[in-house]
Chains A and B, each alone.
Chain A
């Protein structure tokens, strides 16, 4: 007698069925979260009504009425709106973040490479830098640069004067602003050059196999971009007029003014982030097998060329993901500006605008959304770059 094995699976009580349990847990979780959200919204409505705080985004178009110390676009306290103030803060954040990312990358790579230097002193110095900077809170470093270094510079009357009408004092760094006169054609020429380069990269290069790799394509692109404006500069009569800073009654007027808050924030962010980038670079370089260096040296490449042509391209695959993280951290850390009074997004919007309007929910939500968008944009960009760099395997 053979027994038939295709009988139905044993009946499991409903309560012990993993699928049924899973559904119950999820429904319970949704109910709890839904209830919490409902309670929060309900409480918020009552609390706001009792405190007589307006809701909605109407404040966006109201006149701001406060000054901002650094504005990259036109802004005036008596005519500009809160929306404009938001934009000013956002641009200031982007300015410090972009400059910070560039400078921190340069400094971080120098220090990361130095840590693996055969020179004992250089590698120890780089190691000491990383250990010291990584273990001190960024906020403390920012306060140090701002209060203990930049604020102890001489006041305006006793400014440090450098040749070329450059003044350094505790209100910032002042230098002449170059104004271009008669350069209308240059802009158009640059535009034409960019267009030509785009045409070359998109249409010509894929069709000419000789250009697919190597430096030729880069050189042609650079020439296409740079030559037309250069020609335009030479042909038309372009010259610079410098607007020099002048001593007013209480301050320096005219020229370009760089706030000490900006310098302190940038210096702090760059120095702090560079120490983390250096660690990422060191880890990446160490991940390339020693045989690669030896093979390159055996082929007769110099040390510098070995690093540039053989080691770095392979190390970059390991370096890029943590590097992306550090760029995101730098952008997020730029919000510490609020502690030293640099008018970034958080200081202007979450600080002053929130205090003036009292609309905490709207203001904090917008700020968070901006940082989320910035994070997302940075990681998309870096993922795209990483995908281009990734090992192409057959």
Chain B
């Protein structure tokens, strides 16, 4: 039938198209990159103006910055001469030679050169512990936690401060510095403040009024004052409160201050996690005949801490940034070593300070940004279970 009709038409009409034509492409303005640009950059007058302004800003900032940090930068040299303006080199960028010359100091501070392998071992152990703990699919994560929270602190202490009986010379903490101190302060802060924070959070939710009161007072007091005042308290008041024989050294005082500070914030984060556990979980655990600590250890905390991981990591980022404050009470952390190096007369040039700060900013940024990406990844992964 169809064929007949088509034949009939083709015989009476001069030309008839028998096959449908291919669909026409949408107009240029409605497809591909042009459409994207129209929708995302020039959707309205205001948007167009903003686009032009942002492009102008980028042109104003990015090329000179790249020129300074990379193309005009000085990569090698032995002293300030390398980074000074000379007639045949009118523009001098960042003085990376200065960073290279001072790099060991940034990492180890004034730690004795012959003993620096101990710091390297500490770095390796710390990296191993962190990887074990943060990789959620790693085997035997309970062992990992035990390693990080119990074995690592003891090994690190023996390794870093020395133990003459096994042939490790004593290194006074006044000689610790640089990245070493930053990492020590951050990891001691986290290792000690997490358990204290959990206890405080439990105390704040306890049914015993005295326990609750002490926890609330401690948490709210610490959260109400700046970290600097806690550090001042630890460094000038703490020595007064203990017998002179036990007077702690400078680093230990700063550690006490920063740990107390961090545990109050950790407590609030853990409390939020505890609150997210439904009451039925407690009741079910009690119905099974579990006591308080076994109920917490086997039922409540595993669930509460899991949902708290992103917030714990965020707290760790804040703590990591806050470690810079120990600088103010006279500890040689990473930032302090930069401050010392940048005023060194052998490297005094107009670009030295800028280079030092750029390097420090880069290091902190890489560390904090990767931690925050990790927290976001975990959040996404935990959310996946909810989204099912």
Contact = CB atoms under 8 A, between A and B. Distances in A.
Given A25-B211, A26-B209, A137-B364, A336 B325 contact: yes
A371 B236 contact: no
B384 interface: no
A44 B240 contact: yes
A339 B328 contact: yes
Interface in A16-45: 22, 25-26, 29-30, 33, 39-40, 43-44
Given A121-B51, A140-B360, A332 B324 contact: no
Interface in A103-150: 117-122, 125, 131-132, 134-140, 143-144, 147-148
Contacts of B241: 39-40, 43-44
A290 to B, nearest CB: 17
Contacts of B339: 143
A383 to B, nearest CB: 15
B357 interface: yes
Interface in A36-60: 39-40, 43-44, 47-48, 50
Interface in A337-368: 338-339, 346, 350, 354, 360-361, 364, 367-368
A386 B38 CA distance: 40
A39 B240 CA distance: 11
A119 B51 contact: yes
Contact of A367 (B50, B229, B244): B229
Nearest to A131: B369
Contacts of A338: 228, 328
Contacts of A39: 241
Nearest to B239: A47
A32 to B, nearest CB: 10
A350 B211 contact: no
B331 to A, nearest CB: 13
Contact of B224 (A125, A137, A138, A372): A372
A376 interface: yes
A34 to B, nearest CB: 11
A335 interface: yes
Contact of A371 (B225, B237, B239, B325): B225
Interface in A157-204: none
A333 interface: yes
Contacts of B335: 137, 139-140, 143
Contact of B50 (A119, A144, A151, A360): A119
Nearest to B233: A364
A375 interface: yes
A119 to B, nearest CB: 5
B214 to A, nearest CB: 7
B146 interface: no
A122 B54 contact: yes
Contact of A29 (B39, B211, B357, B360): B211
A139 B224 contact: no
B161 interface: no
A139 B327 contact: yes
Given A43-B242, A119-B40, A125-B54, A339 B353 contact: no
A149 to B, nearest CB: 9
Interface in B21-44: 39-41, 43-44
A152 interface: yes
Contacts of B210: 26, 29-30
B207 interface: yes
Interface string B371-386: 0100000000000000
B40 A138 contact: no
Nearest to A51: B240
Interface in B123-177: none
B48 to A, nearest CB: 9
Contacts of A139: 324-325, 327, 335
Contacts of B233: 364, 368
Nearest to B350: A152
Given A136-B361, A139-B327, A121 B225 contact: no
B47 interface: yes
A47 B243 CA distance: 8
Contacts of B2: none
Given A132-B365, A336-B325, A372-B221, A33 B236 contact: no
Given A121-B50, A148-B354, A333-B226, A138 B321 contact: yes
B16 interface: no
Nearest to A27: B210
Contacts of B209: 26
Nearest to A374: B224
A147 B356 CA distance: 11
A260 to B, nearest CB: 14
B31 to A, nearest CB: 17
Interface string B39-71: 111011001001100110100000000000000
A132 B339 CA distance: 21
B282 interface: no
5 contacts: A135-B317, A137-B364, A148-B357, A335-B228, A361-B240
Interface of B: 39-41, 43-44, 47, 50-51, 54-55, 57, 207-211, 214, 221, 223-229, 232-233, 236-237, 239-244, 317, 321-322, 324-325, 327-328, 335, 339, 342, 350, 353-354, 357, 360-361, 364-365, 368-369, 372
Given A147-B342, A147-B357, A346-B229, 6 more contacts: A33-B214, A50-B244, A117-B50, A118-B40, A350-B228, A364-B233
The 3 closest A-B pairs by CB, nearest first: A135-B368, A120-B40, A332-B226
Interface of A: 22, 25-26, 29-30, 33, 39-40, 43-44, 47-48, 50, 117-122, 125, 131-132, 134-140, 143-144, 147-148, 151-152, 303, 332-333, 335-336, 338-339, 346, 350, 354, 360-361, 364, 367-368, 371-372, 375-376
